[in-house]
Homo-oligomer: A and B are copies of this chain.
Amino acid sequence: MIKVGIIGATGYAGNELVRLLIGHKEAEVKWLGSKSYVDKPYSSVYQNMFKLVDDACKDDNLPMLADEVDVIFTATPQGYLGGILTEEILSKAKVIDLSADYRIKDVATYEAWYGITHASPQFIEEAVYGLCEINRDKVKKARLVANPGCYPTCSFLSVYPLVKEGIIDPNTIIIDAKSGTSGAGRGAKVDNLFCEVNESIKAYGVATHRHTPEIEEQISYAAGKKVMINFTPHLVPMNRGILVTAYATMIKKLGYDEIKSIYDKYYNDEFFVRVLNMDVCPQTKWVEGSNFVDVNFKVDERTGRVIMMGALDNVVKGAAGQAIQNMNLMFGLPETTGLEAAPMFP
């Protein structure tokens, strides 16, 4: 059994790690770290875990934790792990970081977009960007995985095949993303109250959202050159789910069949990426609770653009599920272990 510690277990992503690991036959949670709820029974913070989790929350003590477990998930605010990670910790336990601290290779870019001075840039190079479908082999050997952001996972997997194959001009990519409210976290803010979110939709972080450079970096690798895009997130009155609608101008004017075969080439062997049938648009509901990403596309011959779409559950494939997928790879388990659940509908 893999012994697991979670730092930040009382956020939504932390609770989802607990939920998924309860169903994971090769892992067990040994440490539920939470700055805000130390000594409180975990199931009093998340009543869904009543009778399923008996432990109380513990302090967010990373060095002590590294002695006791095989892998540590950090579902913590930006800058937290960067501020305390050491070689000693990494020599004792593998670390999967759900924050952005090690996602961006260029430390200046990280510091500019996040407004944080990176306290441990020496680990950035080693950290593997844990988008399993792209970096599977590197993840298997990693000590430190930077678990991708929810928006970047959905955005990148939606456009990746056509960028990689040079079908679209990557600098024309516009990503219009829509997210459920769990992405905003469990902090008590007026903006996230039921009555403020319900029955409304808005854009936020327009031209300034921190996931922009993360998406750009990954697209740049695929394109083989530096790329700048537009990324606009929106808040949708639902709990879970991210939908990405991406637009780009085609360099090569291809038809449906040709583009479909490109998507199939990249994703046919990927269990968690489902290329939908012609004209079926991804819906967040169809992947709810699962680790799937549904993608599809539409060619607009009139304008010469292709519209690429993707949907995932932000708390699963966009956070906890992908983190466990990374853990499976790091520990030599079948990649789907504990992630086999079918999406729940309705």
Contact = CB atoms under 8 A, between A and B. Distances in A.
Interface string A184-197: 00111110111111
A151 interface: no
Contact of A281 (B206, B230, B274, B303): B206
A120 interface: no
A241 to B, nearest CB: 7
Nearest to A176: B176
Number of copies: 4
Considering residues A19, A276, A345, which has the most beta carbons from chain B within 10 angstroms of its beta carbon?
A345
A23 interface: yes
A52 interface: yes
Contacts of A47: 276, 280, 283, 286, 294
A202 B232 contact: no
A342 B229 contact: no
B289 A340 contact: no
A192 B181 CA distance: 13
A201 B243 CA distance: 7
Contacts of A12: 195, 345-346
A201 B50 contact: no
A203 B303 contact: no
Nearest to A189: B188
Given A207-B307, A240-B346, A247-B230, A198 B201 contact: no
Interface in A328-346: 340-346
Contact of A207 (B15, B300, B346): B300
Contacts of A194: 181, 192-194, 196-198, 237, 239
A203 B246 CA distance: 11
B198 A346 contact: yes
Contact of A276 (B50, B174, B186, B299): B50
B274 A51 contact: yes
Contacts of A46: 345
A197 B243 CA distance: 14
Contact of A48 (B201, B287, B309): B287
A241 B346 contact: no
Interface in A1-56: 12, 15, 18-19, 22-23, 44, 46-52
Considering residues A197, A294, A311, which has the most beta carbons from chain B within 10 angstroms of its beta carbon?
A197
Given A47-B283, A228-B302, 4 more contacts: A48-B285, A48-B286, A203-B307, A344-B344
Contacts of A204: 281
A343 B49 CA distance: 7
Contacts of A344: 19, 48, 289, 344
Considering residues A194, A198, A234, A294, which has the most beta carbons from chain B within 10 angstroms of its beta carbon?
A194
